[in-house]
Each structure stands twice: as structure tokens, then as C-alpha cells.
Chains A and B, each alone.
Chain A
């Protein structure tokens, strides 16, 4: 009777270790829980936007007669109606539609890179990461243009009671409506843009690693998956920002 076999018999109970109830690696789980916390941050920002908007008077007249005033919250279609190269043309939400398309496309190329990683196809991973970096950078460029336009303002500006006009926006006053409108615009789209920028930096890092064959030698492309999770989350946040800031 050997005692060593009983000592070495593996324990297979639920709490004896070695179980993977979530079937995901540590890094992926932590990315998920980080994104969960980030979702609460963005949730708080958007709820504050809704609260601020609700506590201001809405514009009640016909949308065609709409003018900018600090008395009421602006109609988004009347604020975001500019397009690069079409100065003075009223193109409501056209530019933001383009930005949304670019970001959704970048999400698709990202998921294609993850898929190529599962197949250990280094060339495809490189190709799709390159596209994702490109679309992400274009999105950032679009946002820079939109901010520049928002800060500079329109030709007409806003007519004040004393006959003077103000143009564009800053943190204390803006031509589009109550000061809080511009504050929240800068804060929410700026916070999202910061996320996009960090995403592009992460993408460049994993692109360099992929080119150098780091993940191929490691035997798996899980890092691409983790950055992919982050990138899709940025797209997810944009879907909500787009609805609450530009549509409603």
C-alpha cells in the first residue's frame, strides 16, 4: 500500500484551484473590469448632460425660426451643421455622420485584426491594425476640425441684448446657448477624444510588436484582443455620445 499515490492524487473540487470559471485570462478580465468602470465614468458624464439640459428651458418655437440664445438649450442640428469645404452651407449632422461611419469602420478593421490573430496570420494582423490606426487618426483629425469650428464660431454669431455679437465658444460664454452647453461639449467629446488618442497610441505599440514578431514568437495574439476590447469600447461610447449629444 503506497501512501505516495494518495498524497499526489490531484484534487478536483471546485475550490481546490486550477479552475477557470470565467474561461478568460487575467489580462482580458482586468480589461473588462476596467471598461466597466470607464462605462460608469461616461455614464455619469452623460447623465449630467441630461440633467443640465433638462434644467434649462427648451426652445419651443418652430425649428425654422431657431436662433441662438442663452435663454434656451440649442437644437443640436442647428449647432453641428458645418462641413469642411462647404462654408456657409447648412448640412445638419453631416460631418458627425461621417465621423460615426469612420469609427464604426475602424471597429470592423479592429475585429478583423483580432480574427487574423486567432489564425496566427501575421500579415493580416499587420494590415488590419494599419487600417485601424488610419481610421482612428482620421477620426481624431475630424474631431480637431470640429472643435476648431466650434471654438471659432459661425459668421453670424449670437446677437446680445446690447447690440454686440459674440462668436464661437469658450468655457465661460458661447454663441450657441447657455455656457454649460459648451462646457459639456468640451468635456464629454474631449474625454472621448482622449480615449481615442490613447487607443491609437496602444494600436501603434501593438503594431510595432506585431511587425517585430513578438506575438508570433509568444504563440498567441492575445494582446491584440485586449487592445481590441478597449477600441470597441471607445466606439461604444461614441454611439452613446452621438445619440445624447447630437440626436436628442
Chain B
């Protein structure tokens, strides 16, 4: 913060604001809209099943990539930061294994409370 503290005189500055660079932003937006449209296309033209679910999940991961990489700017951060976010996400796989194997036992034993 100290490095920024001497900008108080800049408050009145006008006129030298650079032009907006929004090309990448709108491109990302159109990719996200297109991927969502493709999802709806599959939802209405294809019968439900494992294949359709796999397509949905893959398209969702693509959308997640564009949101995190471009909107959240992670693609342009330092390598160390990228990995410190992505590597812990691999633990989601362990979370799935733990919840499904431990959880199905627990779920079987309590499901009568819900149904």
C-alpha cells in the first residue's frame, strides 16, 4: 500500500485515460454463450444417458476454464499462483471418493429418516 500512497494528486487528472481493451472479454462471453447453447441443444435433441451426462460435464469444465482463466485472470497470473490454486482442486477427486464410499454406507443407514 505504501507504494501507492503518493497518488493523492492524481485525483483531478482527466483526459489521459487509455482506451478500453475489451476484445478478449467479449470473445470469452461469446464462447460461454455458445457452450451454453450447445448444452441446450444436447438437452433437447439427445436421450438422457451416461454419454449425454459426460458431454454435459465436459462442456461445463470448458466453461469453468474460460471463467477462471479469463474472467478471474488466473491464466495471466504467476505460475506459482496458478498451481497453488489448481493442485488443491485435485483433492476434489478424493472428496468424491470419500463421500461416495463412506457416504453411501452412512446414507443407507439414515435414508429412512428422509423417506
Residues of A near any B CB (own CB < 8 A): 21-24, 29, 32, 36, 39-40, 43-44, 47-48, 51-52, 55, 63, 70, 75, 77, 92-93, 97, 100-101, 104-105, 107-108, 110-112, 115-116, 119-121, 124, 178-180, 183, 213, 216-220, 228-229, 232-233, 235-236, 239-240, 243, 247-248
Query: Main SS of the interface on chain B?
Result: helix
Chain B residues with Cβ below 8 Å from A101 are 33, 36
Contact call B33/A104, Cβ cutoff below 8 A: yes
How many A-B pairs with Cβ below 8 Å?
145
Contact call B11/A216, Cβ cutoff below 8 A: yes
Contact call B10/A77, Cβ cutoff below 8 A: no
Query: Main SS of the interface on chain A?
Result: helix
Contact call B20/A115, Cβ cutoff below 8 A: yes
Out of A43, A52, A219, A243, name the residue touching B92 (CB < 8 Å): A43
Instruction: Please classify how large the interface on chain B is, using the bins under 10, 10 to 19, 20 to 34, 35 or more.
Output: 35 or more
* Chain B contacts with A in 97-115, Cβ cutoff 8 A: 99-100, 103-104, 107-108, 111, 114-115
**Cβ-closest chain B residue relative to A97:** B40
Contact call B43/A93, Cβ cutoff below 8 A: yes
Contact call B26/A108, Cβ cutoff below 8 A: yes
Docked CA distance A104–B53 (Å):
22
Out of A97, A112, A217, A239, name the residue touching B25 (CB < 8 Å): A112
Docked CA distance A183–B26 (Å):
37
10 tightest A-B CB contacts, nearest first: A219-B7, A219-B4, A23-B78, A243-B60, A22-B81, A232-B71, A108-B29, A121-B17, A232-B72, A47-B99
Q: What are 28 A-B residue pairs whose CB atoms fall within 8 Å in the complex?
A: A22-B81, A22-B84, A36-B88, A39-B92, A43-B96, A47-B95, A47-B103, A51-B99, A55-B104, A70-B115, A104-B29, A108-B26, A112-B25, A119-B17, A120-B10, A179-B115, A217-B11, A219-B5, A219-B7, A220-B7, A232-B68, A233-B72, A236-B67, A236-B72, A243-B56, A243-B60, A248-B56, A248-B57
Docked CA distance A124–B81 (Å):
29
Contact call A124/B56, Cβ cutoff below 8 A: no
Closest approach, in angstroms, between the C-beta of B36 and any C-beta of chain A?
A: 6
Q: Using an 8 Å CB-CB cutoff, how does the interface string of B9-25 with A read, 1 for contact, 0 for none?
A: 01101000110111001
Closest approach, in angstroms, between the C-beta of A21 and any C-beta of chain B?
A: 5
Chain A residues with Cβ below 8 Å from B59 are 243
